[in-house]
Structure 1
Amino acid sequence: MEITSLQNPRVKQWAQLLEKKHRDKQRKYIIEGIHLVQEALISNAPMECIVYSIEQGMPADIEKLSATHLDVEWIGVTDAIIAKCSSTETPQPIFAVVEKHDANRVDEVLSQPNALVIVVDGVQDPGNLGTIIRSADAVLADAVILGRGTVDLYNPKTIRSTMGSLFHLAIMEAELQELLPLAKQKGARIVSTSLQAQENCYTYDFRPATWLLVGNEGNGVSEAAEAFVDDRIIIPMPGKAESLNVAMATSVLLYEALRQRKYT
């Protein structure tokens, strides 16, 4: 199938997905570029269609996967249409429309013994959220929970920052004031960082069920979520740096958890 008109109704629907309100309404989002489309195909993400440039042709790495994904609609379009539906100044020649995954796996995460979960409370920067998700994927974390006020997971910048990791692990939205008490009841420890903490992250035991609560770039964890914290730890900084950003700090903690769980 080919579409060449910028006024085509489907093109207009795709372009609308650059805005959150339309992503929420249509329950779909766009992923751009060869790498992300490839990751989505390999992960069997629920895709409505893959849209590629007629002028530049189907990328070879994607064409190899097309035979095993006959349920996906493949649509050739003009470069002008690609540009209209892209969030970048220099669009790649392919994008996909992906359906939002409605499956709520909170119960599964709550029941998992010794789960390592990252709880994101109000992180605003898409790059920070994407990096947190990549680090969680890298260390085999069990889930990433997004609390109210956190940047949209399906923001194009967030998606690019995940580098495909959003397809590899459980990511879900939840009301933290309802979820954190349930996690505590199941025996999980809610952990956050504090400059006033007495225990450092290298002496803390991350091996039991640990829900790592990370907060907003400027204000940290909200008071409402802070009320559920069991343990506060500090990341040692013997140098002169004032602080680490939330994505870097989360990565440090996750890798210490990985070391304790897999390499001791």
Structure 2
Amino acid sequence: MTNHLHIASQSNDRVKGWAGLLEKKQRDQRGEYLIEGIHLVMEAILCNADISVIVYDADKGVPRELQSEPYASAAASQEWISASRAVMSKCSDTDTPPPVFAVVRKPKPELSALFRPHCLVIGLDGLSDPGNVGTIIRSADAVGADAVILGKGTVDLYNPKTVRSSMGSIFHLPIIEGDLAELIPQGKERGIVMAGTSLQAAKNVYDCDWKRSVWLIMGNESRGLSTQTEAALDEAVIIPMPGQAESLNVAMASTIMLYEALRQRKFYT
């Protein structure tokens, strides 16, 4: 990892291109996105993500973690560029620029993951907070879910805050950006149960059979599920709250449902 090209100027054309990926329009046009920080770059390398270039802070050098195996061997064929602190700052939306970032090409996940036998999928209907979306992806990864669907109106998967909140889980399972209005009927045709939360539901999350093939559909932070999506549910459930809290954050609610599904599937006796 020596003799790397060095870029010092923020006005460099490549730097302008990298910084442009902080905007959704540019990410969509170019089919690429940014990942920031040592942990995410390590995960991308381990998961064989399609990395275009790795850029590191010239003052700090290549992070020690990325010089060790298996990362060094896996990244040997990558293009590495050292950059000034000003360049690192321009290509980050955080207050403190990371020691390393990478440009990654977007994958094209297969829809077949949504329809596996005994599938567990979580679908997001218009979620607007990137932190919530990233956390839900992380929870879905933790329980071994088959896939995540980001329905129309949901924040961009490759928003830097979503990527950071996922803590690398975006590399571990298929994440489909699609239209729930089109995908839900396809799932129901295959016998998959569509379930979601509702404050009006009579059945609680612990009284349902989550061992079946199921999609858990979660709604917007303030509005909940759209009318169309709610009408398509086969099962509406409520998460019991015997305490005095008014409500649960959607990421917390999603995690509760995912872990109840895991409990029933793996630990139920």
Partner residue of 2:173?
169
Deviations 1:162-190, CA, capped at 9 Å, x for gaps:
01111111101111111100100101000
1:109 maps to which residue? 114
- The structure 1 residue matched to 2:195, chosen from 191, 194, 214, is 191
Deviation digits for residues 197-247 of structure 1, max 9, x if unmatched?
111111100001010000001110101211210010111100011110111
Between the aligned partners of 2:181 and 2:195, the Cα distance in structure 1 is 15
Partner residue, 2:254: 250
Picking from 94, 97, 100, the partner of 1:88 is 94
Q: Secondary structure at the match of 2:259?
A: helix
Q: Which runs of 5+ in 2 are unaligned?
A: none
Q: Tell me the CA shift for residue 55 of structure 1.
A: 0.9
Matched, 1:48 2:44: no
User: Within 5 Å, which residues of 2 pair with 1:1-264?
Assistant: 1-64=5-68, 65-103=71-109, 105-110=110-115, 112-264=116-268
| Cα deviation, residue 67, structure 1 | 2.4
**For residues 254 and 35 of structure 1, what CA distance do their matches in structure 2 show?**
25
The superposition leaves residues 50-76 of structure 1 with CA deviations (integer Å, 9 ceiling, x where unpaired) of: 000111111011122132223321111
Task: Supply the distance in 2 between the matched residues of 1:245 and 1:133 (Cα, whole angstroms).
Answer: 15
Letter in 2 for 1:90: T
Query: Secondary structure at the residue paired with 2:135?
Result: helix
- Aligned residues with identical type, % of pairs: 55
Count of residues in Structure 1 that have an aligned counterpart in Structure 2: 262
In 2: Cα distance, 1:208 partner to 1:13 partner = 46
SS at match of 1:95: strand
Q: What does the per-residue CA deviation read over 1:116-145, in whole Å, with 9 as the maximum and x for residues that have no partner?
A: 000100000011101110100100000000
Shift of 1:108: 3.6
Spell out, residue by residue over 1:11-45, the C-alpha distance to the aligned partner (whole angstroms, 9 max, x if none): 11001011110111111000100111111111111
TM value normalised by structure 1:
0.97
Structure 1 residue 109, shift from structure 2 partner:
2.2
1:3 to partner: Cα distance:
1.6
When structure 1 is superposed on structure 2, of 62-71 and 49-58 the one drifting more is: 62-71
Q: CA deviation at 1:146?
A: 0.6
Determine helix, strand or coil for the equivalent of 1:202: helix
Letter aligned with residue 84 of structure 1? K
Distance 1:151 1:134 in 2: 16
Kindly provide the CA deviation profile for residues 85-115 of structure 1, in whole angstroms up to 9, marking residues without a partner as x.
0110111110000001123x113422x1010
Unaligned runs of 5+ in 1: none
Q: Distance in 1 between matches of 2:181 and 2:164?
A: 29
Contact 2:93–2:160 at 8 Å: present in 1 too?
yes
Distance 1:67 1:193 in 2: 46
**Alignment partner of 1:67: what SS?**
helix
Tell me the amino acid that sits aligned with residue 176 of structure 1.
Answer: L
> Distance between the aligned counterparts of 2:63 and 2:224, measured in 1?
43
For the residues of structure 2 that align with 1:108 and 1:143, how far apart are their CA atoms? 6
CA distance in 2, matches of 1:71, 1:124: 37
Q: Which amino acid aligns with 2:143?
A: V
Q: Distance in 2 between matches of 1:246 and 1:42?
A: 30
Moved more, 234-243 or 62-71: 62-71
* CA distance in structure 2 between the aligned counterparts of 1:175 and 1:56, rounded to whole angstroms: 44
**Equivalent position amino acid for 1:256 in 2:** E
* Counterpart Cα distance in 1 of 2:113 and 2:19: 35
